[in-house]
Amino acid sequence: MSDEQNIRVDVDPITGEITREIEPTEEESAEKQLWGKNPARAQAMRDLMFNELTEHIESQDIPDDKKWEMMFIMAVNSTLDLLFDSPTTDVAMETSYCFDNMLGLALANKKYEVDIMKEARKAIEGVDRSKFKSDEDYINAVHEFEEQWWDMGQPALGMRSPNDAIYETLGKYRLNEE
């Protein structure tokens, strides 16, 4: 049992029965909340919007080969509306910028057939620990290198920097505009 885990003890006031439960760690709770519930969320969203979207698409004069694409776009748009309407405006704004950057990263990965995050990890792992006097110096050098790496031309990206590749990719959708 990990030191981070807490044991919750409950006593039933009527029967006196004692139950013990290991409470999940903060990381386990976050994983369950952020990703573990997504299959159930998808089913709930289906119940919320699938019939209405289907009826709307069927009522439109759209070629059959475009109906699935339209359904997808409408479903994603509705999902994003729900996502960004739920938190406070400042949290929603920050979330939208983060979402756009992750979307840009995924699109740049697809465009250049590369995993930019994997390339960044490989480059960072190349920083030689033995060249630094202390762990602190090494950690500072790794952080500085990582910051610089995102603005350095990379062969896998046609000598564009990762930041530029992401920014250019987002430009196609006007997601890099303020």
Residue range 1-44, pLDDT digits in tens: 445 568 888 888 888 888 888 888 888 888 888 888 888 888 98
pLDDT average, residue stretch 169-176: 93
Q: Count other C-beta atoms under 10 Å from residue 156's C-beta.
A: 16
Residue type, 70: M
Residue matched to tokens 């990582």: 146
Task: Look up the pTM and report it.
Answer: 0.72
Percent of the chain with pLDDT over 70: 97
Evaluate the CA torsion angle 53, 58, 63, 64 in order and state its sign: positive
Question: Quick one: tokens of 132?
Answer: 């630094």
According to DSSP, residue 109 is labeled: H
Instruction: Give the three-class secondary structure for 8.
Output: strand
Q: Quick one: pLDDT at residue 135? A: 93
- The C-alpha atoms of residue 45 and residue 75 are separated, in whole angstroms, by 9
